[in-house]
């Protein structure tokens, strides 16, 4: 425990010589495990956990007699502890015999390219990059040092990926956006001649898709975190340290600021601006730009189905009811008449 406290800058309360060999959840931890409490609704489990130690905030420190790491941010401290027990495995350098490597591509000697990887012309693969089987990286791409591409990632031409970025399986980076022009009842494809620029320390979830720019680049700044199955349209810009949960859709040319948090299945229209520090609840529809940072929600809270139908019927009648109230107010005699 003493070593964990030193490595995480947390306050050690209790025995420092307790041996810890793994991390676990409150409800299934056993001897030798350290667990954590970040959500107060699980506070009662502190009394029954069989863990050897816990990570808690100062307000919960008195709720257990177990040895503990006390910290203002238990979840972040847990993440650091878990990383100590589960460090990233070093990359075994080498290029598999079945890799299709373009003659003008440059691959660092410390990089690892698995079977059936394809690397395009003039593409640069940096130091300690790990590209898993079945990935395709197109022409004129730059993959920074310590990047990991998990199986079947597709990186279209003119994409740049910054250092230490992680891209999970099935993601598609830099495909053409949904650009079409209508003429005489038919659609004309708009060429996408821009690129995709992804910063450092970004994480992109499985099967997420990010379109290249039509003119100019789509940009993800440093430390952006994307969950699985997100769609980001052409020419969007996502500010540094923003986190977006799964199944969110963002239409083209929208600019999202720094340090934003966007819940799952949010739908954000195109050509909008969202300021730094904005929080958007899950399933929220954003149809206009947001001018002031804050928390925004548009989804209706869950109700029993019969009650929801009743409320929905009232909502549909609101315009009629409003017109009736305004008519009554207009026709109401003035006092004293």
Tens digit of each residue's pLDDT, the chain (337 residues)? 999 999 999 999 999 999 999 999 999 999 999 999 999 999 999 999 999 999 999 999 999 999 999 999 999 999 999 999 999 888 899 999 999 999 999 999 999 999 999 999 999 999 999 999 999 999 999 999 999 999 999 999 999 999 999 999 999 999 999 999 999 999 999 999 999 999 999 999 999 999 999 999 999 999 999 999 999 999 999 999 999 999 999 999 999 999 999 999 999 999 999 999 999 999 999 999 999 999 999 988 899 999 999 999 999 999 999 999 999 888 776 665 5
Specify the CATH number for the domain of residue 282: 2.160.10.10
SS (H, E, C) the chain: CHHHHHHHCCEEECCCCCCCCEECCCCCCCCCEEEECCCHHHHHHHHCCCCCEEEECHHHHHHCCCCEEECCCHHHHHHHHHHHHCCCCCCCCEECCCCEECCCCEECCCCEECCCCEECCCCEECCCCEECCCCEECCCCEECCCCEECCCCEECCCEEECCCCEECCCCEEEECCCCEEEECCEEEECCCCCCEEECCCCEECCCCEEECCCCCCEEECCCCEECCCCEECCCCEECCCCEECCCCEECCCCEECCCCEECCCCEECCCCEECCCCEECCCCEECCCCCCCCEECCCCCCCCHHHHHHHHHHHHCHHHHHHHHHHHHHHCCCCCC
Shared domain for 291 and 315, answered yes or no, is: no
Structural domains counted in the chain: 3
Shared domain for 132 and 62, answered yes or no, is: no
CB 226 within 8 A of CB 250: no
Domain boundary among 21, 54, 85: 85
Residue 159's nearest CA partner among 182, 176, 184, 180 is 176
Shared domain for 245 and 160, answered yes or no, is: yes
Shared domain for 280 and 330, answered yes or no, is: no
Shared domain for 222 and 320, answered yes or no, is: no
Q: Residue 270: exposed, middle, or buried by beta-carbon count in 10 A (0-12, 13-18, 19+)?
A: middle
Mark residue 134 as left, alpha or beta (left: phi above 0; alpha: psi -120 to 50; beta: remaining).
left
Shared domain for 236 and 285, answered yes or no, is: yes
- Measured CA to CA, the distance from residue 65 to residue 274 in angstroms comes to 45
Shared domain for 309 and 254, answered yes or no, is: no
Task: Give the orientation angle of helix 305-316 with respect to helix 318-331, to 10 degrees.
Answer: 50
Range of the domain at 72: 2-85
Question: Is 21 known to be catalytic?
Answer: no
Specify the CATH number for the domain of residue 46: 3.40.1390.10
Shared domain for 260 and 193, answered yes or no, is: yes
pLDDT number for residue 330: 85
pLDDT number for residue 335: 60
Shared domain for 32 and 136, answered yes or no, is: no
Residue 34's nearest CA partner among 11, 50, 48 is 50
Catalytic option among 234, 241, 271, 305: 234
pLDDT number for residue 334: 64
In order of 9, 109, 132, 298, 317, the CA distances from 91 in angstroms are 29, 11, 11, 45, 63
Shared domain for 266 and 151, answered yes or no, is: yes
Shared domain for 159 and 286, answered yes or no, is: yes
Shared domain for 240 and 312, answered yes or no, is: no
């Amino acid at each position: 425990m003493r070593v964990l406290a030193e490595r995480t800058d947390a306050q050690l309360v209790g025995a420092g010589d307790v041996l810890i060999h793994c991390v676990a959840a409150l409800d299934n931890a056993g001897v030798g495990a350290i667990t954590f409490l970040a959500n107060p609704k699980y506070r009662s489990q502190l009394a029954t956990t069989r863990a050897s130690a816990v990570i808690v905030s100062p307000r919960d420190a008195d709720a257990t007699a177990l040895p503990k790491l006390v910290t203002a941010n238990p979840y972040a401290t847990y993440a650091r502890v878990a990383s100590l027990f589960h460090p990233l495995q070093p990359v075994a350098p080498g290029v598999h015999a079945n890799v299709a490597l373009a003659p003008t591509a440059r691959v660092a000697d410390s990089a690892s390219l698995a079977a059936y990887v394809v690397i395009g012309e003039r593409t640069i693969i940096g130091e300690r990059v790990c590209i898993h089987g079945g990935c395709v990286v197109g022409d004129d791409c730059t993959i920074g040092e310590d990047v990991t591409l998990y199986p079947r990632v597709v990186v279209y031409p003119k994409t740049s990926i910054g250092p230490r970025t992680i891209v999970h399986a099935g993601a598609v980076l830099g495909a053409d956006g949904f650009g079409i022009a209508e003429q005489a009842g038919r659609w004309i494809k708009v060429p996408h001649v821009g690129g995709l620029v992804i910063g450092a320390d970004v994480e992109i979830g499985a099967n997420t898709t990010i379109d290249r720019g039509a003119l100019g680049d789509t940009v993800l700044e440093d430390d952006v975190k994307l969950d699985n199955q997100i769609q980001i349209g052409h020419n969007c810009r996502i500010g540094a340290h923003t986190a977006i949960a799964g199944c969110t859709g963002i239409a083209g040319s929208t600019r999202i600021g720094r340090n934003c948090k966007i819940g799952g299945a949010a739908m954000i229209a195109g050509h909008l601006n969202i300021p730094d520090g904005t929080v958007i609840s899950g399933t929220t529809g954003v149809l206009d730009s947001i001018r002031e940072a804050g928390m925004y929600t548009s989804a209706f809270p869950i109700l029993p189905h019969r009650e929801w139908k009743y409320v929905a019927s009232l909502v549909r009648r609101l315009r009629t009811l409003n017109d009736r109230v305004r008519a009554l107010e207009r026709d109401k005699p003035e006092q004293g008449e």
